[in-house]
Amino acid sequence: MPAKIFISLSKVIASIYELSCNGICVRYKAKRNSDIPSRYKEGQKRCSICEIFIKWDENPYCPCCNYKLRTRSFRGWKMRTERRELTVKRY
């Protein structure tokens, strides 16, 4: 049997548009604060190409690879969607 290969969507997009990490993002690497449970609430953003949390407020793109930074977790998006569906079902 052939081995299954899993490729993340961000890696596929990066290869199509030739986006790659140039190492500049290491200067902006954010440190985790144990008092706040979510890095996004702390103002940190995640680059899917560089696979790093950075503290960057100038624009919504990574200073290293120019890929759009994530400002919300995927898990939080699912919870909001489920909550919205429950609200609609009530009425």
**pLDDT at 88 (0 to 100):** 63
Q: Is 80's pLDDT higher than 80?
A: no
DSSP codes, 23-89: SGGGGGBPPPPTTSS-TTTTT-EEETTTTEEE---S-SB-TTT-PBPB-S-HHHHHHHHHHHHHHHH
**pLDDT at 53 (0 to 100):** 92
Tell me the domain boundaries of the chain: 9-90
Q: What is the mean pLDDT of residues 27-39?
A: 85
**pLDDT at 1 (0 to 100):** 46
pTM over 0.85: no
For 37-65, write each residue's pLDDT tens digit: 788 888 899 998 888 999 988 889 998 88
- Taking the mean position of all CA atoms in its chain, how far away is CA 40? 9
Q: What is the mean pLDDT of residues 32-40?
A: 83
Average pLDDT, the chain: 76
